Amino acid sequence: MKLIKVPKAFVVYFLLFCFSSNLYAQNISPKFKVIAFYTGKNDLAHISFVHEANNWFPKMAKKYHFVYDSTNNWNNLNAEFLSHYQVVIFLDTRPDDSLQRVAFEKYMQHGGAWMGFHFSAFALTPSDFPMNWDWYHNQFLGSGSYVSNTWRPTPAILRVEDQNSPVTKNLPKTFKSAPNEWYRWQHDLRKNPDIKILVSIDSTSFPLGTGPKQSEIWHSGYYPVVWTNKNYRMIYFNMGHNDMDYEHKFGTTNRTLSYTFANKIQNQLIMNALLWLGGK
């Protein structure tokens, strides 16, 4: 068999190509993996937000080099499935099955990371989401049960409480949020030594809400909207309720009137948080 003599220059070029390709592959390998759980039923504003999130996060995953998966199968909330992900997101609800709850609690206690939005912290007895998970609502979130909310969804001026946190880096001291339905909680998070409040509603927002009920318009008070529990790798965002044309005033039935991820500064806050959670 006749051997073909390969020029040295070609060999050098080939080796350099393989080396650079390997470096490129390393550079684009995902930094971490995210799994988002959602229900996407009943409330049209929450459904709108879920669709928006499942469109926005994959774009961010491509930009920041992480993997984003989503599922509405809460049975996947088990130890084996979660072992493949570094960050769990609850987009709209929480697990109700006892085995799923145990699996999530163990995941968090063993170094897992979590991000929750808006309705994922909701609990009210009596309701379809009763106050029946003490660890999650009282210990983990610290907020206890839901008490009341503003209406209709409106923007608020938000105040950064801790500008030294990696979550709030490069954010202005105050900024205007996307429209949202804001929640009031049972517990005063300022009195919980485990809770670090990162963002709250600034007093310049008042009156906040338009009603029609007077109880849906806030005129004063302290309302945290983003916080973390120092004992866990977690963060909660009260944002996640888009404004909808429930009354059909704008020509199209149930049309989305506002988008949570249409706010540049708020998006930076969310991405800062996710990259912090996914970091080692």
Q: In whole angstroms, give the CA distance from residue 265 to residue 169.
A: 11
Q: Specify if 22 maps to a domain.
A: no
Q: Specify if 242 maps to a domain.
A: yes
Q: What is the pLDDT of residue 14?
A: 47
User: pLDDT-derived band of residue 280, with 50, 70 and 90 as boundaries?
Assistant: low
All residues at 6 or more sequence positions from 171 whose CB lies less than 8 Å from its CB, including other chains: 160, 163, 265, 268, 269, 272
- Say whether pLDDT at 1 is over 60: no
2 vs 138, higher pLDDT: 138
- Say whether pLDDT at 29 is over 50: yes
Pairing of strands 113-117, 233-237: parallel
Domain tally, the chain: 1
Chain segment 41-72, per-residue pLDDT in tens: 989 999 999 999 999 999 999 999 999 999 99
Q: What is the pLDDT of residue 5?
A: 56
Q: For the residues 74-95, what does the mean pLDDT come to?
A: 98
> Tell me, what amino acid is at 161?
E
Q: Specify if 152 maps to a domain.
A: no
Q: Specify if 141 maps to a domain.
A: yes
Q: What is the pLDDT of residue 42?
A: 84
Q: In whole angstroms, give the CA distance from residue 183 to residue 126.
A: 17
Chain segment 98-107, per-residue pLDDT in tens: 999 999 999 9
Tell me the CATH number at 231: 3.40.50.880
User: pLDDT-derived band of residue 10, with 50, 70 and 90 as boundaries?
Assistant: very low
Q: What is the pLDDT of residue 8?
A: 57
In eight-state DSSP terms, residue 250 is T
Q: In whole angstroms, give the CA distance from residue 38 to residue 33.
A: 17
> Percentage of the chain with pLDDT > 70?
89
SS3 of residue 69 by DSSP = strand
Q: What is the pLDDT of residue 33?
A: 98
Q: Specify if 243 maps to a domain.
A: yes
Chain segment 261-273, per-residue pLDDT in tens: 999 999 999 999 9
Domain interval for residue 129: 33-146+182-200+220-278
Q: What is the pLDDT of residue 247?
A: 78
SS3 of residue 27 by DSSP = helix
Q: Specify if 70 maps to a domain.
A: yes
Q: Specify if 162 maps to a domain.
A: no
Q: Specify if 1 maps to a domain.
A: no
SS3 of residue 60 by DSSP = helix
Q: For the residues 192-217, what does the mean pLDDT come to?
A: 97
- Say whether pLDDT at 87 is over 70: yes
Question: Bridge partners of 36?
Answer: 70, 89
Q: What is the pLDDT of residue 7?
A: 56
Q: For the residues 98-125, what does the mean pLDDT come to?
A: 98
